[in-house]
Amino acid sequence: MTIKTRFAPSPTGYLHVGGARTALFSWLYARKQGGEFILRIEDTDLERSTQASVDAIFDGMNWLGLAHDTGPFYQTQRFDRYQEIIQQLLDQGDAYHCTCSREELDQLREQQKANKEKPRYNGKCRSANISSEHEAVIRFKNPVGGEVIISDLVKGTITVANKELDDLIIARSDGTPTYNLTVVVDDMDMGVSHVIRGDDHINNTPRQINILKALQAPLPYYAHVPMILGSDGARLSKRHGAVSVMQYRDEGYLPDALLNYLVRLGWSHGDQEIFSIDEMIALFELKDVNVSASTFNPEKLLWLNHQYIMNSKPEHVAHHLQWHMDHQGIDCHNGPELVDIVKAQRERSKTLVEMAAASHYFYQEFEAYDEKAAKKNFKQGADDVLQHLMDEFSKLEQWDGEKLHQIVLDAVEVLALKLGKVAQPLRVAISGSGVSPAIDVTLALLGREKTLARMSRAIEFIKEKNKV
């Protein structure tokens, strides 16, 4: 059997973390089994579906690296096929027209609630032989006896009595098909072998199985993954961090870190926390997906992102850092290689936004010194320290970090000062603040011209600041 999984989002909004995790689990299972991963856009909700949402889904999938093998398929391009199947079900006697009005159905529902019964359609039109000439919906004729047994690959065996299911609508009065019909036809036509989706779809599964049986189609395996909760135990929402996947890019997360975090939201392999993509593929098993819901923890995601920034190949981090430098308006052509910036800044940067913001001074002049840093380190006499260093730096034939560092250490001895009284005024002079990578690394990255020019500027600033 060819393993085929699918991710089938509705383009009524952005790709959020819950959808991204479902896509990841489906993608991993297909990759692990050497199968196909299908992307399907379920855009039959014509009022709410937008091209902007379609683009947002593609952007999120591309950024995460979850490439599909087949598709994208659009349900709006398959209406003829859905009509064909609806007609087949009518011809077989497995579907019928229903003319019950909204008012009738509302009244029925209220009466059932009053009687403490489960609200459901009562089958009034089931045997009425209503012709297609009437303005009517089309309902699937659900079996009245027996039960549906779902061998769920995550939750185990789920049994639902058919009497608990009513005759669901498969086509609206305007002829457009409904979700439970389109998804069945798509999964059947596309040969989907494993349906991996959120457990909010469990109620749909027995209905869809019954339609598949009526069509004499093979049944896929189902795996319903538990929902993601916020820290307060409520279903994940925007206030918990259920934002667009692309917002995590905007906030400076690496896609690898987000994928690693998402795979651990409901799946585990021993006590291991950090997984490469290759490890995820090799180790992922549906039987290891947790049955209970997982809690979204932004602090854990931030910690994981820092681990990836520190331990990923600098070239990989630099590739993603470039987007943030561009976004912050920094031209990186006149300055050090971004790979070297990553090596210098990765220990102190939890996000790429932080890394980019902390690296502006390598590429452009800063407008002013940090007020607190200047007050503390640009005291009287600091100009003499900088002048001494500047004179010694100027003698260097080769601008080398090790040699620059030695000059700083020698100045400590010559000037009889503590290291902080020498290095910190220098750091503020060349970076504009009291925080930077190691002073020798910072000097080497800045280069001779920028360093000496900024030291000269700082000397004049200190003299002006300390005039009596």
Is the pLDDT confidence value at 241 over 80?
A: no
Place of tokens 């199968």: 35
**Do the beta carbons of residue 31 and residue 281 sit within 8 Å?**
yes
Please give the pLDDT value at position 105: 86
Residue of higher predicted confidence among 129 and 458: 458
CA distance linking residue 465 with residue 297, whole number of Å? 47
Is the pLDDT confidence value at 132 over 90?
A: no
Place of tokens 């391009």: 77
* One-letter amino acid for residue 44 of the chain: T
Distances (CA, A) of 254 to 260, 264, 306, 427: 10, 16, 9, 29
Is the pLDDT confidence value at 46 over 90?
A: no
Is the pLDDT confidence value at 67 over 80?
A: yes
Q: Domains in the chain, please, with CATH?
A: 79-225 (3.40.50.620), 238-312 (1.10.1160.10), 313-356 (1.10.8), 365-465 (1.10.10.350)
Task: Please give the model's pTM, rounded to 2 decimal places.
Answer: 0.93
Least confident of 41-50, 280-289, 425-434, 452-461: 41-50
| Residue 238 annotated in active site | yes
CA distance linking residue 418 with residue 363, whole number of Å? 30
Is the pLDDT confidence value at 239 over 70?
A: no
CA distance linking residue 84 with residue 92, whole number of Å? 12
**Do the beta carbons of residue 244 and residue 15 sit within 8 Å?**
yes
CA distance linking residue 362 with residue 252, whole number of Å? 19
Q: 34 — alpha (psi -120 to 50), left (phi > 0) or beta? A: left
Phi, psi of 192 (to 5 degrees): -65, 125
How large is the average pLDDT for residues 409-423? 96
How large is the average pLDDT for residues 194-204? 95
Residue of higher predicted confidence among 233 and 159: 159
**Do the beta carbons of residue 201 and residue 224 sit within 8 Å?**
yes
Is the pLDDT confidence value at 365 over 90?
A: yes
How large is the average pLDDT for residues 264-271? 94
Please give the pLDDT value at position 94: 97
**Do the beta carbons of residue 195 and residue 187 sit within 8 Å?**
yes
Active-site residue identified among 163, 238, 313, 418: 238
**How many residues does the structure list for the chain?**
468
Please give the pLDDT value at position 129: 83
